[in-house]
Amino acid sequence: MRVLGLETSCDETGIALYDSELGLLSHRIYTQIAVHAEYGGVVPELASRDHVRKAMPLIREVMAEAGLTLADLDGVAFTRGPGLVGALLVGACLGRSLAWALGIPAVGVHHMEGHLLAPMLEENAPEFPFIALLVSGGHTQLVQVEGIGQYTLLGESLDDAAGEAFDKAAKMMGLPYPGGPELSRLADSGNAKRFRFPRPMTDRPGLDFSFSGLKTFTRTTILDCAEDGVLCDTDKADISAGFQDAVVETLAIKCRRAMKQTGIYRLIIAGGVGANRSLRARLQETAAELGGEVYYPRPELCTDNGAMIAYAGTQRLLAGECSDLAVTAVPRWPMTELKPLDTKHG
């Protein structure tokens, strides 16, 4: 089965073509960073307009690279939620319309299920069951996964997601948009031991997260270090290193707890923050100490992308799921509401 995947939940337009026999055939990702940079954050209306502008050209590129035409498609998968409602509707309208015109089925995919299943696109794909750490700009969750659609939420952030905390801490230091990746880059040259950031909610039982306290500590540290309101490069690097180390250690502590609590020592990392090298290294060490394994998608498939939507959609189409003709988007959508598939094989 050949499935076209459309991802338009926020500020990346991701288009991909997946074959259930041959794997990922081609994919493209267009980022809107330049569009939103002058505003310091995503402007929903501009995001929607840019998806409209870029989606069809990217579809043509993906099909051309695979040497196929739209007539060769067997299904279409689009992100139905969660995300920005206007951006979601662009993908939903396009995906549902294409499928109707071609006489093939379409299915709306949960954005976070796409991230969760992204490691399945790699040669060394994990087997079920596993623990998933989903860390993106809008979500930080620990999920026990028994099979596709068989999800138990173990813990989540009670305030900001890890990615949001990275971006907000970066903005406090005046780093360019998007701040999270720039903060991580600076952290590589900083002294993580100069400032002892707190490890929130690690001194109590449970698997929930909270990162708002790290923002407060960052603000206080900046005020203590800044001269005439300006931070020197060394201060920026050291604050970045301390901040990143606190987030990474907090996530590692919770992942260790989740694995020991469930007795499942197979861990996957997915979502934009999952591309962070420090996080990958720390979780690799944590899993190894417990005799476990860590899996993650290649960095380009950690960010929002069409490949993960095409893969997740293919599994649901193969199981007989199909969206009706109504064009719908679900800005808020708990992943635990998803229908379990009969099979446990991706």
In terms of domains, do 24 and 144 share one?
no
- Domain of residue 196: give its range: 126-295
- Owner of token pair 């900046």: 222
Q: What is the three-state SS of 53-111?
A: HHHHHHHHHHHHHHCCCHHHCCEEEEEEECCCHHHHHHHHHHHHHHHHHHCCCEEEEEH
Residue 180 labelled as part of a binding site? yes
Residue 137 labelled as part of a binding site? yes
In terms of domains, do 153 and 103 share one?
no
Give the list of residues 6+ apart from residue 139 with CB closer than 8 angstroms, or none: 112, 156, 157, 161, 271
Kindly list the distances between the CA atom of residue 52 and the CA atoms of 49, 78, 262, in Å, as whole numbers in the listed order: 5, 14, 44
207 within domain boundaries: yes
Residue 305 labelled as part of a binding site? no
DSSP 8-state symbol, 230: B
Domain count, the chain: 2
In terms of domains, do 138 and 224 share one?
yes
Q: What is the pLDDT of residues 95-120, one digit of tens each?
A: 999 999 999 999 999 999 999 999 99
Q: What is the pLDDT of residues 206-258, one digit of tens each?
A: 999 999 899 999 999 999 998 887 899 999 999 999 999 999 999 999 999 99
- Residue 45 · residue 35 · CB < 8 Å: no
346 within domain boundaries: no
The predicted structure's pLDDT at residue 229: 78
CATH at 54 = 3.30.420.40
In terms of domains, do 138 and 284 share one?
yes
Q: pTM of the full predicted structure?
A: 0.95
In terms of domains, do 225 and 156 share one?
yes
Residue 135 labelled as part of a binding site? yes
What CA–CA distance (Å, rounded) separates 179 from 166? 7
Residue 40 above 60 pLDDT?
A: yes
In terms of domains, do 216 and 261 share one?
yes
In terms of domains, do 74 and 163 share one?
no
Residue 276 above 50 pLDDT?
A: yes
Name the packing angle between helices 212-225 and 233-262 (round to 10°).
160
In terms of domains, do 156 and 290 share one?
yes
In terms of domains, do 152 and 56 share one?
no
